[in-house]
Structure 1
């Protein structure tokens, strides 16, 4: 049995691309064409932040307001952009919108701005782009020539040999690959760290009329942009990882769920799809790219499934888990971009090779995003077990040789570590013992003299802004936490504020439906516990 959604989201994406907004008459026509009630269309259109219901300005500047950009002059950049937009409008009569948005996945270009689909670093570059003719679809992604240890192929003509061999080997080859993944100890690289072999085995053994493979390419957490590098530079390994998963679990559709802000990366992925699809056809697998209409919550696997089923992207209660009842209620393998890339490398070279890549008793390779107070923010492919200090050195160290105050080792959903933890190896267990986690593989470095309370409040605002609102603890709790932190920053907070924040953290951790609410206050609580703010509190 083949499942096909009514394509509401894809059609809404197309309408917005054509007109710049969703016109009511077009939604009425779409509902009639698809044979669904208008409220079904409206329910989807009203949920996702990418959709707009009013006519747009001639040009729009999306300005990131989150952690890395805030640390590198984001507030000043916003002021300059608003002034520059006003001057442009006065000179040309062309209206320009300047919109603060959540993390754009361009933390290495902080302060990041999108002009249309094109990313720029800083106000001057973005304003200069306003004065140029629009690039439309001829703007290409420039990727620096770089070799990667994870790539088993020396030449393009060799690509996809691994999945062809797997398919030819039948059941025995599939079982052998599962054994290699288990021996390698590969775990999910999106944050949860679930054993990859166990996830693939679960879907392979699950009963279903049809099975699916989904690549979660919706990385949207502040500090996290490593998957962007893989999509741009190693798209063949992403597609091959998905095809390997499809052959092992018995899936016939493989879908990349991609955040809409990664339009340039989508083009790179689509170019490689033309090659990969010829191989996939031999295997009886369809390859698709599904562009998300936005929202950090879509990185949660069940919210992502809701979007693929053309519904509001609100997380599902679990169990059942996607491996048993996922897309359209069928067994679904969901891995993130890096996990699938690493699975392809292990399939080509074996578990023994993988284990030998690590250092300090750790196994494998790791792609890590580095941003914040470093000379050269970017993505590094390192041996698992590389220390935080070694990684910071690869990024050029802290500007001016200033000392490190704290490090967030796994993205905005992980606890800050103090400078005495800089020799901690980057792997799941070492970081857990140090009091944090590897998370999404995003290291944010904080130099001495930074106001940690301001940074903690910034991260908490991100989670408040990105809460889907489905569950009361997260919807109300994040709002309350931001209010408390804003009072503290303004010098008006009562002396029990730290304890109130800790109580909120415990409540959200125990009662929120999904991981967003469960970790929303973790960074700020780690600051309270490890780097107590010196800002005064008001005595009762």
Structure 2
């Protein structure tokens, strides 16, 4: 294959970043020094192409080292992996966190999504623009560049900002809740991150750093994961029981708190026994689609094609969602143990943990957990002396919400653009690398631990008949104690809002967005909705992944809807016309309404565009992009006064289920 490589050469820093990941090149054919023998025969073609899945890590290596990806660096990556430059450019340009033009080494990401916007991120955005110029600009001489970011997964401490500093090693810092002084420190101070050796992270109290006004940068540690759990240490917790009580960096602490008892039980039961317990438990996917986990695992295990793969979808990017982050930061060994059990059940020897790029602290904790588990024989060729072989590879996303869709995540891991695939075939038949694959999100997997420790029937007795076990809810917005709450299925929306202290004094509820940007608005008189999949469906709403955003009487609903529309427009992969065009037209119409356009003209257009996206889009992103807008019009009465097609605002109506793992999964079967 003629690669038509570029003329530009990589710098020494860029070459070192790539070669540190891929190893030293062996010949001129794969990026090394050309030798006389290279003129006689070619080496490395098929071998190099088999490593195409390392394209995304290689792009990260360069971006982390120098802050952007030059044509010379791209050329070196392409030569090392035998990837055509056009394809590598298509992949690099797909992700928002990669820069293909020179910029400062420090980049500040300010969240402007719905939870942070409601908490006042607009004023912070103006401050950054005044100090650093328009978003996305900045030369190599500027102290920092900045970007308006979708949800950073720190909604309980909104507004939030994240600073990334390129170097060896790359470093990061967080300001949450962000203040003007905190933003100044992010733009000019020295964020922490990895330990000095760049390997094992330093103690949790040392990183990442939250900069507060007054103290110098680095003086105040960021609150740990327990700060995201207002009732941390509650005896009723099952999934969160170790958060704040166990050192997330210590395998010994984890084992002393009951860790790896579930894996021992799994090895005693055997793969079929594990699947039977998970099936009997009634556990369903916690990403929104609510597909039975036992059925998915059994279907994967029975496929004759080999090898089988497990993919943990830790790319939670739904605005308002942060439950997986809290687990990965505060109890990372539980996820490693749960993935090992899942791999054992489905007959997989390799599991891929795909984590979003905006979670640097969670990444460090997981890298540490995987490394220690491997050292202790809890991962590798002989797990716990059982003869079972399983290992975990971590893949980092780079700012693409669509990669949370269960088939788009395959493309991203494989080194392709993260675009959804049509189904069938389903992932259990042909998934990652074309092989049978089970995809589960973080919360689903960690639920497997209590299933095995309690037994399937005992777990099924918790919650309701249709929604069993405990559920994590991400509560943010206008409440006194935002954070992550664990409740058994069956509690009402009102119970959850009351547990968070209700609205602030002197304020009243305006609406609740249930299920995130792909979810539905409900009114204050609908707080008796049961927080179960079947209860939400019966009320014409969607539970989604457990996002609950509370809005009080100060909320600017038209602005929130416009931000939701902008989110879907930005995050559409552009592969299918209904979503690519529909998300743009939806945003344009909502902006015209904010500017005073007549609802009589705009709302029928919105309905037509929304129906087209729902009926014809390839994946759950386009299919649910209209949900929040529709519910605001039909349930809250927004813009409906002059809309002849609008029903009376009342409970009920229709709602498309939110996408599982942020996309419709095998539930479509």
Give the TM-score range, shorter chain.
over 0.9
Distance 1:215 1:528 in 2: 36
Q: Is the 8 A contact 1:375 1:399 kept in 2?
A: yes
Distance 2:456 2:315 in 1: 28
Distance 1:23 1:192, change over 3 A: same
Q: Secondary structure at the match of 1:137?
A: coil
Q: Is the 8 A contact 2:108 2:186 kept in 1?
A: no
Distance 1:510 1:317 in 2: 14
| Paired position in structure 2 for 1:456 | 561
| Paired position in structure 2 for 1:320 | 425
Distance 1:310 1:330 in 2: 16
Q: Does residue 395 in structure 1 map to residue 493 in structure 2? A: no
Query: Deviation of residue 119 (structure 1)?
Result: 2.0
Q: Is the 8 A contact 1:85 1:127 kept in 2?
A: no
| Paired position in structure 1 for 2:534 | 429
Distance 1:338 1:262, change over 3 A: same
Distance 1:197 1:128, change over 3 A: same
Q: Does residue 162 in structure 1 map to residue 262 in structure 2? A: yes
Distance 2:160 2:451 in 1: 35
Give runs of aligned pairs for residues 51-130 of structure 1, distance below 5 A. 51-85=98-132, 94-116=142-164, 117-120=172-175, 121-124=177-180, 125-130=182-187
Distance 1:379 1:333 in 2: 27
Q: Choose from 312, 334, 351 the match for 1:254.
A: 351
Distance 1:84 1:368, change over 3 A: same
| Paired position in structure 2 for 1:368 | 473
Unaligned regions of 5+ residues in structure 1, if any? none
Distance 1:472 1:382 in 2: 40
| Paired position in structure 2 for 1:144 | 226
Q: Is the 8 A contact 1:68 1:110 kept in 2?
A: yes
Distance 1:285 1:473 in 2: 41
CA-based RMSD: 2.4
Distance 2:191 2:396 in 1: 22
Distance 1:59 1:156 in 2: 35
Distance 2:587 2:532 in 1: 31
The count of corresponding residues between Structure 1 and Structure 2 is: 531
Distance 2:100 2:493 in 1: 45
Distance 1:341 1:143 in 2: 16
Query: Deviation of residue 449 (structure 1)?
Result: 4.3
Distance 2:559 2:340 in 1: 44
Give runs of aligned pairs for residues 1-16 of structure 1, distance below 5 A. 5-16=52-63
Query: Deviation of residue 6 (structure 1)?
Result: 4.4
Distance 1:437 1:459 in 2: 16
| Cα shift readout 1:67-123 (whole Å, capped 9, x = no counterpart) | 10111111112112333447xx99xx7433221111111111211111223221223
Q: Is the 8 A contact 2:600 2:643 kept in 1?
A: yes
| Cα shift readout 1:283-333 (whole Å, capped 9, x = no counterpart) | 311111110122100110110000111000110011111111000100001
Unaligned regions of 5+ residues in structure 2, if any? 1-46, 165-171, 196-205, 209-223, 247-252, 645-669
- Which of structures 1 and 2 has the larger relative contact order (alpha carbons within 8 angstroms, sep 6+)? 1
Distance 1:371 1:340 in 2: 24
Range with greater deviation from structure 2 (112-121 or 300-309):
112-121
Distance 1:502 1:534, change over 3 A: closer
Q: Is the 8 A contact 1:66 1:458 kept in 2?
A: yes
Distance 1:450 1:420 in 2: 17
Distance 1:181 1:535, change over 3 A: closer
Q: Does residue 384 in structure 1 map to residue 512 in structure 2? A: no
Q: Secondary structure at the match of 2:628?
A: helix
Q: Choose from 458, 474, 477 the match for 2:582.
A: 477
Distance 1:110 1:499, change over 3 A: same
Distance 1:384 1:131, change over 3 A: same
Q: Is the 8 A contact 1:215 1:257 kept in 2?
A: yes
Q: Is the 8 A contact 1:113 1:126 kept in 2?
A: yes
Relative to the length of structure 1, the TM-score reads: 0.93
Q: Choose from 325, 332, 339 the match for 1:242.
A: 339
Structure with higher helix content: 1
Distance 1:193 1:144 in 2: 27
| Paired position in structure 1 for 2:281 | 184
| Paired position in structure 1 for 2:322 | 225
| Cα shift readout 1:204-256 (whole Å, capped 9, x = no counterpart) | 11121201101000000111111111111221221111111111110000111
Q: Secondary structure at the match of 1:36?
A: coil
Give runs of aligned pairs for residues 265-414 of structure 1, distance below 5 A. 265-277=362-374, 278-281=377-380, 282=383, 283-358=388-463, 363-414=468-519
Relative to the length of structure 2, the TM-score reads: 0.76
Distance 2:306 2:457 in 1: 36
Q: Does residue 524 in structure 1 map to residue 632 in structure 2? A: no
Distance 1:62 1:529 in 2: 35
Distance 2:309 2:276 in 1: 21
| Cα shift readout 1:493-516 (whole Å, capped 9, x = no counterpart) | 462211111111111111000000
Q: Is the 8 A contact 1:48 1:293 kept in 2?
A: yes
Distance 2:523 2:614 in 1: 23
Distance 1:113 1:537, change over 3 A: farther
Q: Secondary structure at the match of 1:287?
A: strand
Q: Is the 8 A contact 1:50 1:293 kept in 2?
A: yes
| Paired position in structure 2 for 1:31 | 78
Distance 1:309 1:437 in 2: 32
